[in-house]
Structures are given as C-alpha cells and as structure tokens.
Amino acid sequence: MPDSSIDTAAPGVPELDVRSLRKPEKHPAIFATYHALAVGESFLLINDHDPRHLRDEFEVDYPGGYAWDYLRREPRDWQIKITKLTTTALPRVLVDTTALTTDGAPPDASGAIWKLPVRERDLDANVIALPADETIDPHTGPDLDVLIHVLGGSGTLTTEATEVDLSAGTLLWMPRRSRRAFRAGPDGLRYLTVHQRRQALQLDTSRLTMRPGQ
C-alpha cells in the first residue's frame, strides 16, 4: 500500500477537516466521505493528530483496497490523502478455524472466542466455546434465522420437541424465535454462528460538508 511522508498540497482534492468535530463524530464522517468516492478518487483528511486508530480500522475493513499518503505532519495539522482503489472491500481470509479447535486452543475457554471484526457488514458471526458439560439454558432465540456449524467437540441441542446430537461437521439451521438449549459433551463444544446483522443506528451525514482543495 502506498505510504509517503512528503509535505505538499493536494491540488484539486477535496478536503475534510475534522478538527472541529466531536470525537464520536470523526470516524463516521470520514468513512461516509470515503464511501462516497468513486474508484481512483481521493480526499484530503485534516486532523489535529496522527489518526493511527483510524488507519487500523481501514486495515480491518479495506486491506489492499485503499491508499494512505501522509502529506503533512505538523502540530494540530496532520494531512492525509486517502484514495479508494477498489469498488468494495476485497474478499479475504478472516481466521483459520482449525486453530480454534485444535489441541493448542485453551480447553476451558467459554463464550465468544472469535467475532467477525469487519465494521461494514451485513452479517454477524461468532465462534462459541463451551467447556465440557457446560450448558446454555433454554431460551427463545432472536428474531433472526441462525446458521450453526459445529467445529469441534460434541454436545446436545434440546428443542421444543426433540434432542439433536452435535458433532464436528454438523450444520444446523435455527429458525427465528425457536426454543433451544445447549449442553457440551465431555470434550467440550465449539461452533460457528452466522446470522443477519441486527440493524444499527445510522449516522446522519446531512450536515457534513466537503470543501474543494486549494
């Protein structure tokens, strides 16, 4: 990924100065501006510090799909040209699930041991670990269909009417609002869940403005 450290202007590139925004508003404003770009277009981000955490977010969401070029590094005047290189985020490997189920994985881990880290997404995914004989009490599922793939171990799913044996390779469909309970077997249970992401609050970008580059 291109990354320069020169101190020059960016003629013709629109500027987004976030120094006057409240901290919670900065990253949403920056990503809204990035999303509005066409492939090959850029904008100049002006900030009062080096936005390293912002770059970490770009690396999670758009690795290989953007360019980040430092144009100025001065006190309270950091300028970075951000360029969109691809129309969408690129397909990529997220995790090797065998590493979460082999002998090297902590056997007593409990709960979500991996979560889908991508910020801009339509899906949620988690890897859930239950130690030996641990249970998830009976409950009604969310208003979402859930797909479950058992990665390792064994256990039992209890529904309203039946019990389903679980083992590595089992693929389950959990209809929305269905009753379910889980019990891990003597070797524990680990499974991947995938479902539609719940609706999140959306940023109101109507008051965001860009100004042409100087």
Query: How far apart are alpha carbons 61 and 63 in whole angstroms?
Result: 6
Q: What is the pLDDT along the chain (214 residues), one digit of tens a residue?
A: 444 444 455 678 999 999 999 999 999 999 999 999 999 999 999 999 999 999 999 999 999 999 999 999 999 999 999 999 999 999 999 999 988 886 666 777 788 999 999 988 899 999 999 999 999 999 999 999 999 999 999 999 999 999 999 999 999 999 999 999 999 999 999 999 999 998 654 445 444 445 555 4
| 49 and 128 belong to one structural domain | no
| Domain assignment of residue 212, yes or no | no
Query: How far apart are alpha carbons 115 and 125 in whole angstroms?
Result: 6
User: How many distinct structural domains can be found in the chain?
Assistant: 2
pLDDT at 201: 44
pLDDT at 101: 82
Last residue of a domain, one of 61, 84, 107: 84
| Domain assignment of residue 134, yes or no | yes
Question: 146 is written with which tokens?
Answer: 């859930």
| 115 and 170 belong to one structural domain | yes
pLDDT at 214: 44
| Domain assignment of residue 28, yes or no | yes
| Domain assignment of residue 9, yes or no | no
Query: How far apart are alpha carbons 203 and 29 in whole angstroms?
Result: 8
Query: How far apart are alpha carbons 29 and 24 in whole angstroms?
Result: 9
Distances (CA, A) of 207 to 52, 146, 175: 25, 37, 41
| 104 and 129 belong to one structural domain | yes
pLDDT at 122: 93
| 110 and 186 belong to one structural domain | yes
| 67 and 109 belong to one structural domain | no
Q: Give the strand pairing for 135-140 and 179-196.
A: antiparallel
Query: How far apart are alpha carbons 137 and 157 in whole angstroms?
Result: 11
| Domain assignment of residue 35, yes or no | yes
pLDDT at 9: 55
Which 3 state secondary structure label does DSSP give 91? coil
pLDDT at 2: 44
pLDDT at 198: 80
pLDDT at 108: 74
Distances (CA, A) of 181 to 135, 159, 163, 210: 7, 7, 9, 52
| 19 and 71 belong to one structural domain | yes
| Domain assignment of residue 204, yes or no | no
pLDDT at 74: 95
| Domain assignment of residue 159, yes or no | yes
CATH assignment at residue 31: 3.30.110.40
For residue 157, count other CB atoms closer than 10 A to its CB: 21
